Amino acid sequence: MLKIKDLRVEIEDQEIIKGLNLEVKAGEVHAIMGPNGSGKSTLAAVLAGRDMFRVTGGKVLYNGEDLLEKSPEQRAKEGLFLGFQYPIEIPGVSMVNFLKTAVNELRKHRGQKPLSASDFLKMMREKKELVEIHSSLTNRSVNEGFSGGEKKKNEIFQMAMLEPRLAILDETDSGLDIDALRIVANGVNQLKSKETASIVITHYQRLLDYIIPDFVHVLYDGRLVKSGGKDLALLLEEKGYEWIKEEAES
Amino acid sequence: MKKEQDKILGEVTGSEYKFGFYTDIEQDSIAKGLNEDVIKEISARKNEPQFMLDFRLKAYRHWLTMDMPGWAKLKIPEIDYQSLIYYSAPRQKKKTDSLDEVDPELLETFNKLGIPLEEQKHLAGVAVDAVMDSVSVKTTFKETLADLGIIFCSFSEAVREHPDLVKKYMGTVVPYTDNYFAALNSAVFSDGSFCYIPKGVRCPMELSTYFRINAANTGQFERTLVVAEDNSYVSYMEGCTAPQRDENQLHAAIVEIVAMNNAHVKYATVQNWYPGNKEGKGGIYNFVTKRGICRGDNSKISWAQVETGSAITWKYPGCILKGNNSVGEFYSVAVTNNHQQADTGTKMIHIGKNTRSVIVSKGISAGKSNNSYRGLVKVLRGAENARNFSQCDSLLLGDKCGAHTFPYIETDNSSAIVEHEATTSKIGEDQIFYCNQRGIATEDAIGLIVNGYAKEVLNKLPMEFAVEAQKLLQITLEGSVG
């Protein structure tokens, strides 16, 4: 589904990603861990098409096509979803209107008719239940005045609504209490299927108690320096990142 | 409703000013230039009674003593009033009320604008008075309304058929001495709409006037007069478009509203005059005086306006709150893009006791445009317990545009409570990217955000207008971020 080959990314002449390789197949869950400043969020933003970063080398193929050539909205319509680390507030725009526009753009892309108002509201109800989001949130403006936890849950709710093929969750777990964490993880697990894949970016191991990854990668200084199974995450939890740094630098 | 809105929002991507076409129709115009003979000629062509001509001449003589106002934050090129044509009418066989006899070219023009004049096709139940250049083309639903005693007709017809009413109210809210453009309008006004709601009558349908400038080098000077007697109600809306032309055109209108005891008048405007091209060439100069008086106790006048067009807009729809417990409201969205300039706002004059006013102004600036809110809240000595709440928000798109707020507050009564709130915000790249990531293209994202921002005002418009206004906001701002 996703093939990243020797990716290099700069911002303001500073190289952040320094030759990164990763392959994600349908049905897989990948966790990317790493210390602060290692390039995790940059990777997520570049995949989603944020234009403040400059790709200086390498290739990214998404379903066999060049991902980096596509506009952010094109990527989204082709099923790439980014769960934001810091979801953006859009005052005045209701969640209902926002999501309805997004869902119908997606349907248009797939050659489907727009959903009727009643079908859309029904879909919202079902998905809300799935991710246990409190119903009043969807009556408010997009993320406006939401608490940190509400914003993160709202990202998972949007993911449920948009049914992506590849979901990239950028530190969706940071700042969550244990109940919210469980809800977020539950949402991700519910949406898992043979046709879809997820990349879960996280700083801590604890999210991986709830989301069982097929692969765990450690991102350090712009490169994936170590890959393994779930055990690697436990090892990191136990020993921290220091030994990885030492290993990488030696 | 939502579905309809989405459909329309989807449809408009990629279009510029849609109403820029010109109808090739024979015009009956008088020679350009302005003097007493021209005014006599206009009056004669309209078969006006003497009092009307006298009014025009008095106004003209007064206008000659006045200077163009210079206080607005606008750059107005000099206007050569002698190079304008003051009367131009699409030539019809004869003025008529039967649709069969209206020139098909004219009907086609209004159909293109989405203003159907054929009553049977009119599902929404909106009565329309269509004004092209200097004359009213057709008023629909006149008979239905007449059964209730409501008079809804062109201003010229009112002058001929209901001279007493016109004489009694015309110029009582906006006297010809009011300002430069009001004087000019009073001298040369051509047509417009007249609406009279008798005592105790609730007008069962939206009344609407559609203004269209078609002919070149022609000034449009229309007058609208709405009179609501005791315990009556009317909701009135007006729309405006013009062809795309390289030269500027002048539009100087007057709207007067009179509300008696317990009367309620809602007046909505969607102004979409041609704004000029991207380089700022052409476009309409829109210098309009609109004012309502709450003459009776417990009366209410609400203005709602969406201003997207015109090269220059100079306009302050206001309310004189004379009756005790009367209420004035002003809800406005003013959008400027490219080189457009707008200096717009309201005046709320509190005279009666317990009078209340609400002002909600939302300015949106894009391109190299300048958008100013200018509002006066004045509380006179006798206005015990007057209340005003004003909210003025500005939204900026890009970094070459300007937004300015000029609130004037004058209170002569210590029991008055006047509140003013103002905010300025920008559409952020983060917000756009967030929408993009959910599959929403940048243009649509701006439409979504702008409509969300203006929602409070759009909700005050009659439904047909709200949808049109949403479309307009989106079209007007196309290509303004990127």
Largest CA distance in chain A: 61
ipTM of predicted complex: 0.95
**Residue A116: pLDDT over 60:** yes
Asked whether the beta carbons of residue B437 and residue A81 sit closer than 8 angstroms, the reply is yes
pLDDT of residue B131: 67
Q: How far apart are CA B395 and CA B369, in angstroms?
A: 12
Check residue B119 and give its pLDDT.
43
Confidence of residue A15 (pLDDT cuts 50, 70, 90): very high
Residue A130 has pLDDT above 70, yes or no: yes
DSSP state of B296: S
What are the tens digits of pLDDT across the range A172-198? 887 788 887 888 888 888 888 999 999
pLDDT confidence band for B93 (50 / 70 / 90): very low
Which residue would you say has higher pLDDT here, B450 or B88? B450
Among A180, A66, A161, residue whose Cα is nearest residue A122: A161
Task: Report pLDDT for B21.
Answer: 63
- How large is the average pLDDT for residues A202-224? 88
Nearest CA in chain A to B455: A92
Among A146, A24, A161, A18, CA closest to A83: A161
Model pLDDT, residue B108: 65
Q: In which band, very low, low, confident or very high, does the pLDDT at B222 lie, cut at 50, 70 and 90?
A: confident
- Give the mutation candidate from A51, A73, A157 for the B interface (greatest B CB count, under 10 A): A73
B31 DSSP 8-state letter:
P
Q: What is the mean pLDDT of chain A?
A: 90
Task: State residue B240's pLDDT score.
Answer: 66
Q: Which residue of B lies nearest to A48 if distances are taken between CA atoms?
A: B437
Task: Report which of B251, B238, B255 is spatially closest to residue B174, judged by C-alpha positions.
Answer: B255
Asked if residue B196 has pLDDT above 90, the reply is yes
The pLDDT value given to residue B245: 61
Candidates A82, A90, A99; nearest CB to B437: A82
Establish if A112 touches chain B: CB-CB under 8 angstroms. Answer: no
B chain contacts of residue A100, beta-carbon cutoff 8 Å: 2, 6
Which percentage of chain B shows pLDDT scores above 90? Answer: 43
Residues in B closer than 8 angstroms to A71, CB to CB, are 436, 441
Task: Return the pLDDT at B13.
Answer: 28
**A-chain residue closest to B6, CA distance:** A101
pLDDT (tens digit, 9 = 90+) per residue, A59-85?
A: 999 999 999 999 999 999 999 999 999
Position B482 in a domain: no
Q: Which two tokens stand for residue B309?
A: 């067009």
Model confidence at A55, pLDDT cuts 50, 70, 90, reads very high
Shortest CA distance from A94: residue in chain B: B452
Q: In which band, very low, low, confident or very high, does the pLDDT at A98 lie, cut at 50, 70 and 90? A: very high
User: Is A116–B3 a contact, with Cβ atoms under 8 angstroms apart?
Assistant: yes
The mean per-residue pLDDT over the stretch A120-145 comes to 85
Looking at the complex, does the CB of residue A105 fall below 8 Å from at least one CB of chain B? yes
Higher pLDDT: B14 or B328? It is B328
Q: Going by DSSP bridges, is the β-strand pair B192-197/B233-241 parallel, antiparallel, or unpaired?
A: unpaired
Query: For an interface test with A, which of B5, B437, B451 has the most A Cβ atoms less than 10 Å from its Cβ?
Result: B437
pLDDT in tens, B312-340: 888 999 999 999 999 999 999 888 888 88
CB-based contact, A118 to chain B, within 8 Å: no
Residue B133's pLDDT is 59
Task: With a cut of 80, say whether residue B120 has pLDDT above it.
Answer: no
Cβ contact, residue pair A71, B430, below 8 Å: no
| Confidence at residue B380, expressed as pLDDT on a 0 to 100 scale | 97
Region B443-449: mean pLDDT is 87
- pLDDT(B15) > 60: no
Is B413:B383 a contact under the CB 8 Å cutoff? yes
Of the partner residues B425, B438, B455, the one whose CB lies closest to the CB of residue A162: B438
Return the residue matching tokens 């709602």: B304
pLDDT of residue B11: 40
Tens digits of per-residue pLDDT, B272-297? 777 777 777 778 888 999 999 999 99
Contacts 24+ apart (CB under 8 A), B112-117: B112/B21, B113/B19, B113/B210, B113/B212, B113/B241, B114/B468, B115/B210, B115/B239
Question: Which pLDDT score, from 0 to 100, does residue B209 have?
Answer: 80
Higher pLDDT, B254 or B108: B254
Q: Distance, in angstroms, between B13 CA and closest chain A CA?
A: 13
Q: Are A8 and A17 in contact (CB under 8 A)?
A: yes
- Structural domain of B255: 2-476
Question: Is residue B481 in some structural domain?
Answer: no
Residue A136 forms contact with B (CB below 8 Å): no
Q: Is it the case that residue B30 has pLDDT exceeding 90?
A: no
pLDDT at residue B207, as a whole number: 84
Expressed in angstroms, the distance from the first to the final Cα of chain B is 30
Write the secondary structure of B320-338 as one string of H (helix), E (strand) and C (coil).
EECCCCCEEEEEEEEEECC
Lowest mean pLDDT among A167-181, B160-174, B370-384: A167-181
- Mutate: best of A90, A105, A163, partner B, most B CBs <10 A: A90
CA B423, chain centre distance (Å):
25
Distance in Å, alpha carbon of B400 to nearest chain A alpha carbon = 21
Q: What is the DSSP string of chain A?
A: -EEEEEEEEEETTEEEEEEEEEEE-TT-EEEEE--TTSSHHHHHHHHHT-TTSEEEEEEEEETTEEGGGS-HHHHHHTTEEEE-SSPPPEEEEEHHHHHHHHHHHHHHHTTPPPPPHHHHHHHHHHHHHHHT--GGGGGSEETTT--HHHHHHHHHHHHHHH--SEEEEESTTTT--HHHHHHHHHHHHHT--TT-EEEEEESSSGGGGTS--SEEEEEETTEEEEEESHHHHHHHHHH-SHHHHHHHH-
Give the whole-angstrom CA distance, residue B155 versus residue B211: 13
Single-letter amino acid code for the residue at A219: L
Q: Which of residues 61-80 of A touch B (CB under 8 A)?
A: 71-73, 75-77
Option in B439, B442, B451 nearest A102 (CB): B439
* The two structure tokens encoding residue A207: 């999210």
Does A157 touch chain B if contact means CB atoms closer than 8 Å? no
Mean pLDDT is lowest, of A24-28, A229-233, B345-349, B376-380, for A229-233
Which residue in the block uniquely carries the two structure tokens 């559409």? B427
CB pairs under 8 A between A and B: 87
Residue A48 sits at the chain B interface (C-beta within 8 Å): yes
Q: Residue A43: pLDDT band by 50, 70, 90 thresholds? A: very high
Name the pLDDT band for B412 (thresholds 50, 70, 90): very high
Strand A14-24: give its sheet, edge to edge.
A14-24, A2-11, A54-62, A65-66
On whether residue B163 sits in a domain, the answer given is yes
| For residues A208-213, average pLDDT | 87
Contact residues, chain A, for B437 at CB < 8 Å:
48-49, 72-73, 75-76, 81-82, 84
Rounded to 5°, angle at Cα B233 from B232 and B236 = 140
> In the prediction, which pLDDT does A174 show?
79
pLDDT at position B128: 66
Tell me the CA distances in angstroms from B219 to A54, B77, B186, B237, B310, one per residue in order.
Answer: 54, 16, 13, 22, 14
Q: How high is the pLDDT of residue A102? A: 96
Contacts of A58 (CB under 8 A, 6+ apart): A4, A5, A6, A7, A8, A19, A20
Number of separate domains in chain B = 1
Q: Rounded to the nearest 5°, which phi and psi values hold at A210?
A: -105, -35
B-side interface with A, Cβ within 8 Å?
2-3, 6, 425, 428, 430-431, 433-442, 444, 448-449, 451-455
State yes or no: pLDDT of B9 exceeds 50: no
User: Most confidently modeled of A93-107, A176-190, B240-254?
Assistant: A93-107
| Res B124 pLDDT > 50 | no
Q: Quick one: pLDDT at residue B121?
A: 41
Pull the structure tokens for residue A230: 């779930």
Assess if residue B270 is contained within a domain. yes
> Has residue B423 been placed in a domain?
yes
Name the residue facing A102 among B2, B440, B452 (closest C-beta): B440
Residue of B293, B289, B52 lying closest to B178 (CA atoms): B289
> Mind telling me how many Å the CA of B431 is from chain A's nearest CA?
6
Domains of chain A: 2-249 (3.40.50.300)
B335: Cβ–Cβ under 8 A, 6 or more apart, which residues? B306, B307, B308, B363, B364, B365, B366, B371, B450, B473, B476, B477
